[in-house]
Chains A and B, each alone.
Chain A
């Protein structure tokens, strides 16, 4: 299983905080996980297609080309606005 987390405005718009995705032992890239999530419904398609979406694997910022596998924590979130 890959644990997928959503934060801030994205979490609210998807109405989802955490989503578990089965990867059946395969290594996937983040972009392919993203397209699986986008295919769930029109709202997810739209919200997960923003070009400024950031992602982290195991709490490190990574590009969409990064790999994920069983047991990883993957997070998607909008650009950060702290400070």
Chain B
């Protein structure tokens, strides 16, 4: 079982992460998720800035990954989250889970994203044609936790 957590301004490479996750011979399934900066419906998005709480962020992500390892039999968990200024269509977050069989990998990947959305101290500020705005938290993200509790 291994956990890899990174908070970084640099982009990440899906192929490299996938290769790392494949290294364990006990692994029969890999599920990956990547989140991107998406354009807005009502205005032009120039980009966004991701702020975080250095130190707490890494601890929170490691805790979430550890909780996933305690729930399911997993071979490896990778979580990468970018911070700083990002342009539309850039990658923000990566979660990769390797396990013996697919149900655990699918479930753990969703679990990690649901908790990351609610517990990891990141904040998005959108830079739009109309001005700069902090993104409001969504009730739907909070409700997503109910299925794990």
Q: Which of A30-79 contact B (CB under 8 A)?
A: 52, 56, 59-61, 75, 77-79
Instruction: Place the interface of chain B in its size category.
Output: 20 to 34
Looking at the assembled complex, report how far the CB atom of A79 sits from the nearest CB atom of chain B, in whole angstroms: 3
Q: List which B105-142 residues lie within 8 A (CB) of chain A.
A: 113, 116-125, 134-137, 141
Binary interface encoding of chain B residues 11-37 relative to chain A, with 1 for a CB under 8 A from any of its CBs, else 0: 000000000000000000000000100
A21: Cβ under 8 A from any B Cβ: no
Q: Is A26 an interface residue (CB 8 A)?
A: no
A81 within 8 A of B: yes
Q: Would you call B123 and A80 a contact (CB within 8 A)?
A: yes
The tally of residues in A whose CB lies under 8 Å from a CB in B reads 17
User: Within the assembled complex, what's the spacing in Å between the Cα atoms of A2 and B15?
Assistant: 45
Pair A82/B124 contact, Cβ less than 8 Å: yes
Chain A residues contacting B92 (CB-CB under 8 Å) are: 82-83
A-contacting residues, B70-123, CB 8 Å:
81, 92-93, 113, 116-123
Min distance, Cβ A30 to any Cβ of chain B, angstroms: 15
Complexed CA–CA distance, A80 and B124 (Å):
8
State whether B93 touches A82 (Cβ < 8 A): yes
B contact residues around A82 at 8 Å (CB): 50, 52, 81, 92-93, 116-117, 120-124
Q: A8-B134, A56-B53, A75-B56 are in contact. Are A81 and B123 (CB under 8 A)?
A: yes
5 A-B pairs within 8 Å (CB atoms) are namely A80-B118, A80-B121, A80-B137, A81-B122, A81-B134
